[in-house]
Structure 1
Amino acid sequence: MKVSDLKLFIKVVELGSFTAAANALDLPRANVSRRINDLESTLRTPLFHRTTRSLSLTNQGESYYLDLLKAVEMIDSANQALIHNADTIKGKVKLGLVSETHDILQPILFSFLDRYPDVELDVRVISNGFIDMHNQGLDISFHGGELIDSDLVARKLIQLDRCLVTSQSYIDKFGQPSCVEELTNHHAICLRWPTGEVDKRWHFEHTSITVNSKLVSNSVAFLKSATISGRGIAFLPKILVADEIADGRLVQILSQSSVIEEHGYILYNQPKTLNLATKTLIDYLLEEVPKNY
């Protein structure tokens, strides 16, 4: 009985399906199914109830899973102690980044790889950290905005407070609002969330405004480019438009209007299921990202 097969069993339980576990571990689904069947044959005990639509643990499977978590954690702790003594961290980390954040995070990831050259990073572009975490079998993903109910760990990483921006060409043509209430008289450029909902309700500390928009996109990069081109006013995280504000391509307006505090988070599975490389990267990101931004 291999430890890797026991860890595979744990992964199937946590992700709820053979397919999700196969995605997480970059394995063929048939390989996962065969290895679980072999494990059940070795134990002479069915671990799962299988139907065409669902997968659930048997009573014996649930007891085995709980005991196995403790055993595997002890094995990993012993292995990690040796690895730490050898001052070597190895392993693969599957990381999900929202496309617009790669400029912010790329230098930090490169610095991590320089420090730990035996770590392999597999970086994926995602749209929703909570959904893509399981769909793409990620070890770590990033999420901005409100959290949803999930068994994932969410750690606050960076402040994502938004600001109102437009171009000088737009101001020259249409003027600029003197208060947030006047935003309803202007052309708004709005984000479409991964849920499909259009972000037309802009929230400030003391009020919320429903804006009018004829230009919507699920890409922050597209919204930013459209705003620079003079198509309207956008409400974007300041960290993503700081360079454009600094070089004059965008103009921040109504800066005196306080916005509701928003944050970016790092998401990951329960620590006991993570390899040492993933745990090390999580700690590195939590330490380095706030330093730089």
Structure 2
Amino acid sequence: MRIEDLKLFTIVVELGSFTAAATALDLPRANVSRRIGELEKSLNAQLFFRTTRQLRLTQHGETYYHDLLNVLDGFEQAKNKLLDLDEKPIGKVKLGFLPESDEALQPVLAKFQRLYPDIELDLRFTNNYVNDIYSQGLDFVVHAGKIQDSGFIARKLLSLGRGMYASPDYIAQHGAPKALAELAEHQAICYRWPDGTLDDNWDLISDSVKVNCKLSCNHMGFIRRAIVGGQGIGFMPPLFALGAIESKSLVRILPEYESKKEDVWLIYPDRKGISLPTRLLIDFLLQEIPLYTALS
């Protein structure tokens, strides 16, 4: 009986199927089914009722699952203490993050791996942490906006503001608006939220302005490239365009207007114990990422 198989059993329970667990762990489904079968054989007990449509725990499986969570938590804590003593944390962290945040995260994650070269990072784009944490087997996610489910632990990373930006080429050709009312005369590039809502009403602290959207996309990276390409004025977090701002490929329009801020969170399942590599990365991001907020 291996610890990895015991952990696999708990993941199958949490995800509700062998297929979902196989997807989350990047394993063949047959491998998951075989290992659970071997676990049942070693325990001399049936853990699951299996049908073509449903997988559910037996009474033995239910009892074993809840007792096993405490055992695995104790095992994880004991392992972490040993690794703390060795000061050579080893392991893998699966992190979910918004596609548009890659430019800000990449250098921070590179710095982390220079400090901890034996920790492997497996990065996944995600737009729905409630589903993706379990379906992709993520250790934690970076999420912007409201917390949808209280069954997770959420730690605030920063508050993210947005600004209005255009390229020097666009300004040379169309001029820069001198007042909010003049934005209606310009071409706007707008973000489309995951629920399909078009962000063509730009919320500011003291006002809001309706813009004339000529191009929209649900990927902030595309929005950034379109603004840099001179296609219009966009409203985006500077944290997602640090390189373009520093190189002056983007110029802030009407900088006296500040946007309302949106909270960014690190979210992970409400479990007693997390691995040492995961804890180290969470603490590192909480320390390093806010240093970028001066540009927000």
Q: CA deviation at 1:234?
A: 0.7
Match runs of 1:188-267 below 5 Å:
188-267=188-267
Match for 2:159: what amino acid?
Q
Contact 2:25 2:136 in 1 (8 A): no
Question: What SS class does the counterpart of residue 117 from structure 1 fall into?
Answer: coil
From the superposition, tell whether residues 168 and 273 of structure 1 become closer, same or farther in structure 2 (CA, over 3 Å).
same
Aligned to 2:69: 69
From the superposition, tell whether residues 131 and 203 of structure 1 become closer, same or farther in structure 2 (CA, over 3 Å).
farther
Aligned to 1:112: 112
Contact 1:271 1:279 in 2 (8 A): no
Q: Structure 1 CA distance, aligned partners of 2:54 and 2:192?
A: 32
Q: CA deviation at 1:254?
A: 2.6
Match for 1:155: what amino acid?
R
Contact 1:130 1:143 in 2 (8 A): no
Q: CA deviation at 1:146?
A: 3.0
Deviates more, 1:80-89 or 1:38-47: 38-47
Q: Structure 2 CA distance, aligned partners of 1:273 and 1:113?
A: 22
Q: Structure 2 CA distance, aligned partners of 1:198 and 1:150?
A: 27
Q: CA deviation at 1:93?
A: 1.6
From the superposition, tell whether residues 110 and 216 of structure 1 become closer, same or farther in structure 2 (CA, over 3 Å).
same
Question: What SS class does the counterpart of residue 255 from structure 2 fall into?
Answer: coil
Question: What SS class does the counterpart of residue 260 from structure 2 fall into?
Answer: coil
From the superposition, tell whether residues 38 and 75 of structure 1 become closer, same or farther in structure 2 (CA, over 3 Å).
same
Q: CA deviation at 1:271?
A: 4.5
Match runs of 1:73-222 below 5 Å:
73-149=73-149, 151-222=151-222
Contact 2:14 2:134 in 1 (8 A): no
Aligned to 2:5: 5
From the superposition, tell whether residues 200 and 51 of structure 1 become closer, same or farther in structure 2 (CA, over 3 Å).
farther
Per-residue CA deviation, residues 2-60 of structure 1 (Å, 9 max, x unaligned), is 22222111112223332232233222111112222333344444433444444443444
Q: Name the Cα RMSD after superposition.
A: 2.7
Contact 1:20 1:137 in 2 (8 A): no
Q: CA deviation at 1:120?
A: 1.6
Contact 2:189 2:213 in 1 (8 A): yes
Q: Structure 2 CA distance, aligned partners of 1:279 and 1:190?
A: 36
From the superposition, tell whether residues 73 and 164 of structure 1 become closer, same or farther in structure 2 (CA, over 3 Å).
same
Q: Structure 2 CA distance, aligned partners of 1:149 and 1:219?
A: 24
Q: Structure 1 CA distance, aligned partners of 2:150 and 2:38?
A: 31
Aligned residue pairs, count:
293
Q: Structure 2 CA distance, aligned partners of 1:270 and 1:260?
A: 30
Unaligned runs of 5+ in 2: none
Per-residue CA deviation, residues 238-288 of structure 1 (Å, 9 max, x unaligned), is 222344344432221232223211132223233446322222211222122
Q: Structure 1 CA distance, aligned partners of 2:53 and 2:59?
A: 19
Question: What SS class does the counterpart of residue 142 from structure 1 fall into?
Answer: strand
TM-score (norm 2): 0.84
Unaligned runs of 5+ in 1: none
Match for 2:90: what amino acid?
K
Q: CA deviation at 1:235?
A: 0.7
Identity of aligned residues (%): 45
Matched, 1:23 2:19: no
Contact 1:166 1:228 in 2 (8 A): yes
Q: Structure 1 CA distance, aligned partners of 2:255 and 2:286?
A: 29
Deviates more, 1:169-178 or 1:17-26: 169-178
From the superposition, tell whether residues 85 and 148 of structure 1 become closer, same or farther in structure 2 (CA, over 3 Å).
same
Aligned to 2:289: 289
Q: Structure 2 CA distance, aligned partners of 1:107 and 1:178?
A: 35
From the superposition, tell whether residues 193 and 114 of structure 1 become closer, same or farther in structure 2 (CA, over 3 Å).
same
Q: Structure 1 CA distance, aligned partners of 2:55 and 2:179?
A: 55
Contact 1:127 1:194 in 2 (8 A): yes
Deviates more, 1:109-118 or 1:44-53: 44-53
From the superposition, tell whether residues 77 and 248 of structure 1 become closer, same or farther in structure 2 (CA, over 3 Å).
closer
Q: Structure 2 CA distance, aligned partners of 1:277 and 1:248?
A: 37
Contact 1:157 1:266 in 2 (8 A): yes
TM-score (norm 1): 0.85
Deviates more, 1:123-132 or 1:183-192: 123-132
Aligned to 2:34: 34
